[in-house]
Amino acid sequence: FEGEPALGRERALRKDVTLLVQNPYLLRRSVRANVAYGLKIRGARDIRAKTDQALAAVGLDPRLFADRSRHELSGGEAQRVALASRLAFQPKVLLLDEPTASLDAESAGLVRAAARDARDRLGATLVVVSHDISWLKNMCDKMLTLENGRLSG
């Protein structure tokens, strides 16, 4: 990890790596509480500001969305809240498993833009699993394909 062996440091490195799955689970809390959760367990400061920045990064106005419950969100909004919760603590590695599957075009575009911003502005390494080959070709320095159970690339 960052040019050094990770063996034996896995626990310490977990704070730098996060995963966004295709169908993320949101806690039975407000949008703000969902985004802030990872920050709180990491002992972060300025949680409200970081939460608002992360929501804005995924195209959700904190003034309109922060107090909503998960049940008041569309599928695309919920996915973006989940992504915001990962972006809030500025991970060094962002694992994305089909992050735009089943999303409307607008939400998919906002997720793609937020991932690109994490890469470009934060310097995050992205590992993306997707069927959206054109997006992958645009985003990735290196692309591997899985075909008939074999990796190539």
CATH of the domain at 71: 3.40.50.300
Provide the residue type at 134 as one letter: S
Q: Quick check: is 4 in a domain?
A: no
More confident residue, 15 or 85: 85
| Domain span holding position 81 | 10-152
pTM here is 0.90
d(Cα 119, Cα 153) in Å, to the nearest integer?
21
How is the beta sheet containing 17-20 ordered, strand by strand? 17-20, 93-97, 125-129
Q: Are 79 and 21 in contact (CB under 8 A)?
A: no
Please tell me the total count of domains within the chain: 1
pLDDT at 95 over 80: yes
d(Cα 137, Cα 131) in Å, to the nearest integer?
11
| Strand-pair partners of 23 | none
Q: Quick check: is 99 in a domain?
A: yes
In Å, what is the CA distance from 151 to each residue of 7, 122, 146, 148?
24, 29, 5, 9
pLDDT value at position 21?
Answer: 94
pLDDT value at position 7?
Answer: 80
Q: Are 79 and 24 in contact (CB under 8 A)?
A: yes
Q: Quick check: is 104 in a domain?
A: yes
The fraction of the chain above a pLDDT of 90, given in percent, is 76
pLDDT at 68 over 80: yes
Q: Quick check: is 112 in a domain?
A: yes
Q: Quick check: is 61 in a domain?
A: yes
Q: Quick check: is 107 in a domain?
A: yes
Q: Quick check: is 96 in a domain?
A: yes
Average pLDDT, rounded, for the chain: 93
The fraction of the chain above a pLDDT of 70, given in percent, is 100
